[in-house]
Each structure stands twice: as C-alpha cells, then as structure tokens.
Chain A
C-alpha cells in the first residue's frame, strides 16, 4: 500500500521572471490570470506536457481567495472531488489549508453529501503557489496583458481567427504561444462599487486590467458579451465580536480529506476552528432602507446573483424575515472573521451601522468594507465543449469570464481548458466530458448548451444521473481515463485508483458469493431489520443495502470473505445502496451518450435548413448553436419532433462533419 503523506509546501522563491527575459521565447500555452481557474489551467496544461506560462498582475495574489474562506459544499464538493480525481490542485490545497471540515447533507443520502471546509487563506495561497513553482514546464510572469495576437486561421479547422500569443502592456512586447487561456475572473471591464463611488477594477486593492482585452473580445472577435455582478462582505475584527451571543457550530470530529491521495488533513482534528451563527434583526432592514439612496450598486439592474445575494437584495426582496449570518474564521492566525451572508455595497459608515444591529456584533469593528463588482462575461454558448472559443482557434476561456460563480466552478473549467489548451498545442485532438460521467461535464454542457442569465452555480439537481455521479466515486469515474486517455494524471495516482477499483470489485464479488435466506442473515448478523416477507435468498450486497447493516457486521460474520475490505467499508456501503439504481439507468445513459456523440456541424444554417422545423425552433437553434444533438434536445422550446428531424439531417450529412472529436465518456 502507498504511504500517503501531505506534501509540504515550499516557500515562494524568486521564481518570477522579468518580462525582458521572455521576449524571444515561445510557449505552448499562455494562461492569463492567476485565480482558481488560471492556476488549475496552468497545472493541467503542464501535466499534459505543455510548456506553460502564467501571466498574472501580482504574483502574491496567485491562489488568493477573493471572497469567502471556504471550499466545497453541496454540488461544489462534487466538483472538488472530480478536480482531484483528474489530479488537479484544489482538493489537496483544501486538505492542506482547511481548518474546519464538515460533510453537509449527511441526512440526505451519500450521493449528495457535500464535503466542505473553512480555509486558512494564507495556507491556501502558499500551497497553490508552491505547487505551481514545483510543477515542471511552468513559468510565471508578473505583468499585464494588453492584447491578443492573431494570425490566419487554419482552414482545416473550424474558426475564422487563430490566436498566436499576447502583447504585454506598458511596452512589454509580444510573447508567442499555440494556445491562450483567458481566466480574467471579474477583471474584464470590472467596476467596483461602494456606496455611490465607482472605480475600475476586479478586486479591491488590485489594479484594473487593461481595457484592450475586453475591446478585442467584443470588437475584433465579435463575441457576445454580457454583464454580471457579485459582491463581498466586510471583514470584521475578531476581538470585537461577542461570541457569547451567537451559536457555535463545531466541525466534524474527524475531518474527511477532499483528495483521494490523502488519508488525513493537515489540520489535526482538535486544532480545528469553530464557526458561529447569528441572525439579522429588524434594525438591519432599517439600515438597508435608510441607505438605499446612497447605494448605486443596488439601484442598477445588472443581474444580481440569486445564489449569493447581497444583504440589501435579501432584505428588500424578503422583508420581515430573519436571515442567517455565519461568522467564519479566516485562518488559524488571522485576527479577522468573515460574515457569510452579509455581502453589501452601502457606504462604509452605513456598513458599520448595519453590522452593529446584529447580535454579537454590537461593538464590532470593520477592517475592510464590503463592496460590489460588475464585470463582463462572454456568453458561453460561443464555446466548444473543450472551452475553446468557436470562432478563434487556440483561444480558451475558463472561470467567471464564462458566467459562473464560485471557486470550484472556476477551477473545474480551468482544469478542462488547461487540458485542452495543452493538447491543442501538442497537436492532439480536443476532448470533451460527458454529462453522464461527471459534474464537470454537466457544468460545461449547461454553460455551452444553454448559456447563462445569472451567475451559474453548481447544484446536484443539474445532474441527470446523480446516483452514479457521487463524491465517493469520482476517482473511478475520472482518474483512469485521466491517465489512459488524457495524460493529465500522474502514474502514482493512477496506480492508486486501479488498486481501489480492483479492491472494490473483489469485495463486491466476495459479498455476492454469500447467499443466505433472510432468517439465516438475521441469525448471523444479530438484530437487524431485514424483511422476511421476501422468502428469496439474499446475497451479501443486497443485505448491505439495509440501513442497519454495515460492512463491519458482515466482516465479523464472514471474516475470510468480507474482512479483507474494511478499508473500503464506507465506499462499499454506498456502492451497495446505489448500484441497482445505477444499473437501471444504464440504458438511459447509453441513449444519452449516443445523442451526445452526434455532433451538429458547425456551419449548419438553422434558418434555412431544409428540414421541417418551426420558425421558433430555428431561432432557438440559431442563437444557441448546440454542439451535439443531446445539447439541442435539452434546450427549452425544442420539440422531440425537431430532434428527430435534426437527427435525420445529421445522419444523412455525416460525411460532411470533418472535425474529429474524441469523446471522453
């Protein structure tokens, strides 16, 4: 068995290079932006073998948690597990930096358990930075990108433009590459709002990005761009909070790591920090109403996020209600607390008035005020499933630029864009992930297939085959393919995943080989609730499905058969519960995969397509331009008959579909 040990992060050394050194160099991949999408993109591109350059405005902010100091949750935790299964950085960083681990949704079934942790901001950043520095083929450059460089498009591939590098701002010259990944987050035409003041920027205390990129995307490439907004709460000085007036929430006594490669977390169980819960009061509502005319962010009607709304919008929309406020630690040594649920944009003096209306915060002091951000996003329907801009060869987008919210969503896209940017630069065909196999596939398919009207957050309900896409089996779903087909997974991780797969299969066959009647099982296992109405014989897996039965019980009854697999007791229990349902769904999954594998030609003109389609359907198809028949079928307003006609058309014209795609499913 492997000795699994957390890797100790190295300190940030003099890794950055000066722009002047780089002039003549050529990279396979350039990643612009050092947030969660950018760092995963850099790491993934280098893992598939590409020589990669990360350009960021400030090296110190690589891996910074701009908003909440936490990772995972329901749906989001699934993404972290999948990122880890593809050998990404996020899961291991979370295990290193976590200070309060808990699994949400314990009562609702293992398929929707949400692993989550509070993070120590500094530790998280340190881990990410040292990880990137120790990654081979990665160079980091501090600088600002002024523009993209274009050349003639390759006529063999779809797209009118082709990117071949970037031009640095401030006369920094050109850097050439095969692919460019843009992960600019909220910095694309970003504007900060606080009270009635507006200033350009994507994050407080950081310089704004150059306007050149935004202009190029809109005017040169003609991409459809929309505007979204988000916000962050003020940070509160810990010593000024009276925690006795709040409810304490303790972490799980034994922390569960995110990474399949870790058996324990860096933080010892007893060192974990608690969170605290308090509530808003009518006073909060009063302050919001009094200050609303000083609050330009809330007055504008740019689409506000439903899934992490400001306290102003919550109070105005649902008056007379108590809203939860979680006080979360910012780290082991930090003297700040993060009030989750209090994102606000009112003037700083009003922010102080507001928090002082909340139990426990009556004497609290604010260290930095909350603020709002508005930023451009590129409508993601203009992307291929491998996150490349359809009109531009070599240009990939990932993260908030595609209209998502959340660290995990950004990292998942970053990883996938990085894998494909790397592959493209090495002349390998692009790859896509099926929504039948992963939440990352669901995320990307939703984005490119339906577009966004508000910041997109991951939910388990977005996945059709939720019983099969679980946090516990992300390694079996992705790691093997990640190594065998994509080349983005290390051999060490691959071998571990293989070992797990073999052990689980062995264990299930061993359990299946035990056949007893219900009453015999009761004799063997003691007082368990197995219905005897079914006179039939039950095998070990079927018995393990029962609520009261654990693998430990089976192991003590049949030590020679089940005793070998105690390491996997929890996973086996989950497998036993869901396997019959997953098998029932297999046919549906296959049908869906067949639809997914039918690519709709890029150059299809839906408005004049010689098949029987209503004008309405034509317009929907024309505006979204789904990449596969499956994606078309999921669009609202598309009739089944339209899908049949499209299917027939595509089938007839299959030979014309020249772009070769490798589907990963």
Chain B
C-alpha cells in the first residue's frame, strides 16, 4: 500500500499557493526597481540550497559576494564571502543569467550553497546588507516573469501548481500546463474565432456594392459550430482536470455501525476516526487527504444515516448528506450481516439501501458498494450474495471487505484506483484538461456568447457579431494575454481577401 500517503500539508497552504494566480499577479506591487532574493529550494535542512537573486543589482550582488565574475549560464565554483566582514560563508556554485534571457526577464543569479540553516541565513544576511536588495515577497519571481511577458496566465497557474504538486498525476498535469499545452488550445480557439470575426466584420464593413461573397457567412457558421463543439467537449470532461488539481472528493457513507470509520482508519493507516461498537459514534465529518496511486484524494468519513432525535446527531446526519451531495465518488458501506441471504431478495435490499443513502440517482452511478464485516458472516452466505449480485444489473460495483482482517483490501484498492483514473483522466493522454474553475467559467461564457451568434445570425448581424466579440474576449481573458478592450479593438485582423481591396473612397 505504498501508494497511499498523506498528500496535503494543510488546506491553508494550498489556498495560499493557489492565490498566487491571477489576483496576486495583478495586484499592486511595491517598488519595482528593487532587486529581490530568496531561498528557492524550500525550507529545512537539506544538502544543497538555492538562493535566487533577480533585478538590476544582481550583478552587483554577485561581484560583492564572489571574486571572478562567472560566465553567463555556466556553473562556476566560487568562495562566497560576506561583503562587509569578508568572512567566508561557504563554497558553492554561482550561476549568472543576464536579462532578458532569464526566467524573470531581468538580470538574475543563483547561489547553490550547502543547505545548513546557518549557511543559508549567512548568505541571506550578506545579500540583505547590499543596497537595493530586499527579500522577495511570495510569488514575486513569477510575478516578474509574468510582467515581462515570459509566461501567460495559464502557464503561471501551471507553474504554481507544479511547485505545489504533491502527487505524481498532479505533477504531470501541471507540467503540461506550464509548458503551455493548455494555453495553446485556448490560443488556437482564439485564433479560429478571430478569423470568424474578421470575416463577419469584413462582410459588415464592405457593403453590398463591394463584391463580397455571400458564402463567407456560411463558412463562418460552420466554423463557429465546430468551435462550439470543441469547447463543449472540453467543458464536458466531468471536471477531470480540476478534480486532479484540487483532489477527488471521496465520501464514506452508510448506516450507523456499518464500519465506515474502520474503513477510513484502514485506508489512512492510522486511527483518524474514533471507532466503537456504539451506533452513532461519528457525528461530524472527518476528513483526511490521501495520495492514492498518484491521485490526490480527500477522503471523508460521515455520520451514519438514521433518523434520530439527538440534535447533535441530526446535524451530523445533515452534514453527511451534504457531503454525499458534493462527492465525486461515494463508498457506501453495508454491514454484510444485515443483508438477507435469499438470492432474490439481495438486489432489492441493496437497491433500497442505496436509495436511502444516495438520494439522487446520479450519485448512485459514482459509487462503490462495500460489503463489510465479511469475517462475521459465513462463507456460504457471502457466496450466495456474490452469486445473486453477479446476476443483477442494477446494483453498482461491489466488493467484499473485512476491516478487521483486511481481507478484500487489495481488490478494493484496485477498484478505487481505476475509478480515480476515470475521474481524473490520465494527464498525459489526449488533450490537456481544464484545471481551474476560472477557465471553466470563462469558457462557458464564451460558448454562451457563440450561441448568441447563431441566435441573431439572421435577425441582426451586428448583434450576431457582438456574440463573437464577447466570445473572443472571454477566451482572451483565460490566458490573460488580452483584456476585454484591447482584445476587441484589434479584432480586425489582416486577412488578405480580395474584398479587403475593393473599397469605395
């Protein structure tokens, strides 16, 4: 079970990281002529630490701390000394990246030093003692790279995700996004839409007298339809990319005392939830982040569902139901000893049970039935249930398990992993997935706007063209390469079409 481990330090960290994206990038920044520095290799004791410097005074910093200015982009071994005290701080590699060919677009340098806390703080202090240098704010290097036009917004978001990817699948997805795969799709759509708009605009601006073929609008109709299909396909990915980015919500649900908390503890390999023989022990939602075979999972244990008069337990049941509503995947735990052994009654019992727990039929499709306490029921009973399940179509995938003896755990994990793969998709196969709600919202807006094109196409061409303009500006905002106005204003792309030439004075 090596593939299960905690993947999430804390929700707060993730939130902080994610806020690196748009808002932070575009927010007001302090003085920009400063040269910034920071440890870029993470906190704590380590073999090698990397201290990065970026800004106009980077060369000065290198000269002040070392002797013999290094060649550009070549690792050079140097003694690193404090500029004032002349004290030797460390011996390490120094790299010089002159702007604009550097990550930030500015003059930058890296000091690869030994990772002891004293060495690191010594070098940081030395840098801080130089005029014009200050410690970098969180995300500031990326912000400068964005400001210099080195990255578009999807690439920045990808970079943020890459730095903080904690499972393998997350890393793959982030890397693809940072490499610009996602941005390229959006760019391609923008380009296609821009062409459509240019044709419609040419059709509007060159009057009937000026020889523009009627067929041009039919071509646009087809192209817009195709574009809408592509965008809708991308949108109808069942949120795979976003799920992979933020974790799959898996909820454990079932009646009281079915063994839900035992399942949680077994999967997390620690007693995260209190387990007792008393029904109604778990009252609130217990949540544990897990890495399952490279996929990030947020596993929650919920209160057993039953009618109760205890107000605290009622609230627990309400929360449990809410959690089930939001889940990507439900693990419904059933106490095997409660299942009737008559073959014809088994499917009916389980269906009824599922209906009670998963109120919406859509949830029943994303669920795994866990028949727990297999050690307590007889092998014969189990066999007869299994046989009747195999004959039945309307019961979801099920597996037998004993949380006590761990029998059936391997089967469950295989089943789970396959489900996770479907839910998240393979980030390396096919077109890159949507990773952010921001993208989804803007894409949906764009599709909506394209609907407006078709709606008005035969009524008022100006309003139809307005749809294309809106669609284009929403698309442009995803990559952040263009805002609303500077986008629309340049919609007249230069197409070399005879109609462009035949103009009256």
Contacts and interface: CB of A to CB of B under 8 A. Distances in A.
A464 B209 contact: no
Interface string A62-85: 000001101001110000000000
A611 to B, nearest CB: 5
Interface stretch (A52-60, A168-176, A317-325, A532-540): A317-325
A467 B469 CA distance: 12
B378 interface: no
A297 to B, nearest CB: 17
Interface in A606-641: 610-617, 630, 633-636, 638-641
A277 to B, nearest CB: 8
A108 B204 contact: yes
Contact of A588 (B105, B149, B206, B485): B485
B481 interface: yes
Contact of A645 (B32, B105, B503, B504): B32
A466 B485 contact: no
Nearest to B26: A644
Interface stretch (B71-79, B85-93, B454-462): B454-462
Interface stretch (B295-303, B327-335, B403-411, B486-494): B486-494
A558 to B, nearest CB: 25
A461 B29 contact: no
Contacts of B490: 634, 636
A457 B461 contact: no
A360 interface: no
A111 interface: yes
B31 interface: yes
Interface in A395-420: 405-407
Contacts of B105: 614
Contacts of B459: 547
Interface string B436-466: 0000000000000000000000011111011
B207 A309 contact: no
Interface stretch (B140-148, B233-241, B265-273, B312-320): B140-148
Contacts of B498: 314, 318, 321
A609 B339 CA distance: 76
Which of B106, B149, B201, B482 counts the most chain A CB atoms within 10 A? B149
A614 B148 contact: yes
B210 interface: yes
Chain A interface size, under 10 / 10 to 19 / 20 to 34 / 35 or more: 35 or more
B466 A581 contact: yes
Contacts of A67: 505
B463 A467 contact: yes
A639 B33 contact: no
A572 interface: no
Contacts of A323: 211, 502
Contact of B502 (A324, A643, A645): A324
A614 B209 contact: no
B311 to A, nearest CB: 43
A459 interface: yes
A641 B26 contact: yes
B501 A309 contact: yes
B130 interface: no
A315 B32 CA distance: 55
A612 B146 CA distance: 10
Given A109-B461, A614-B148, A633-B483, A648 B29 contact: yes
Contact of A105 (B26, B204, B502): B204
Contacts of B286: none
B205 A74 contact: yes
Interface string B86-103: 000000000000001000
B504 A73 contact: yes
A526 to B, nearest CB: 20
A464 B208 contact: no
B398 interface: no
A308 B503 contact: yes
Chain B interface size, under 10 / 10 to 19 / 20 to 34 / 35 or more: 35 or more
Given A611-B32, A614-B105, A639-B147, A459 B201 contact: yes
A612 B502 contact: no
Interface in A416-472: 457, 459-462, 464, 466-467
Nearest to A106: B208
B147 A461 contact: no
Contacts of A111: 460, 462
A641 B146 contact: yes
Contacts of B201: 459-461
A595 interface: yes
A326 B488 CA distance: 34
Given A308-B504, A323-B211, A74 B206 contact: yes
Given A70-B504, A614-B149, A592 B207 contact: no
Contact of B205 (A75, A614, A615): A75
B28 interface: yes
A642 interface: yes
Contact of A617 (B149, B205, B208, B480): B149
B32 A612 contact: yes
Contacts of A615: 100
A104 interface: yes
A195 interface: no
B231 interface: no
Given A461-B205, A615-B100, A645-B29, A112 B462 contact: yes
A114 interface: yes
A104 B210 CA distance: 11
B207 A640 contact: no
Nearest to A103: B207
B500 interface: yes
Nearest to A632: B486
Which of A318, A323, A461, A591 counts the most chain B CB atoms within 10 A? A461
B454 to A, nearest CB: 15
B462 A109 contact: yes
B205 A460 contact: yes
Nearest to A644: B26
Interface in B329-362: none
A307 interface: yes
A405 B482 CA distance: 30
Contacts of A110: 460, 462
A324 B486 contact: no
A641 B148 CA distance: 8
Given A112-B204, A648-B28, A340 B504 contact: yes
A15 to B, nearest CB: 29
Given A112-B461, A648-B29, A460 B204 contact: yes
A450 B147 CA distance: 22
Contacts of B489: 462, 464, 634
B25 interface: yes
Contacts of A314: 498, 501-502
Given A74-B206, A464-B488, A581-B466, 5 more contacts: A107-B461, A314-B502, A318-B501, A577-B463, A645-B32
Interface of B: 25-26, 28-29, 31-33, 100, 105-106, 143-144, 146-149, 201, 203-211, 459-463, 465-466, 480-486, 488-492, 498, 500-505
10 contacts: A73-B207, A104-B209, A108-B203, A306-B500, A314-B502, A464-B485, A578-B463, A612-B32, A639-B146, A640-B480
Instruction: Please give me the 3 A-B residue pairs with the lowest Cβ-Cβ distance, nearest first.
Output: A461-B201, A104-B207, A109-B462
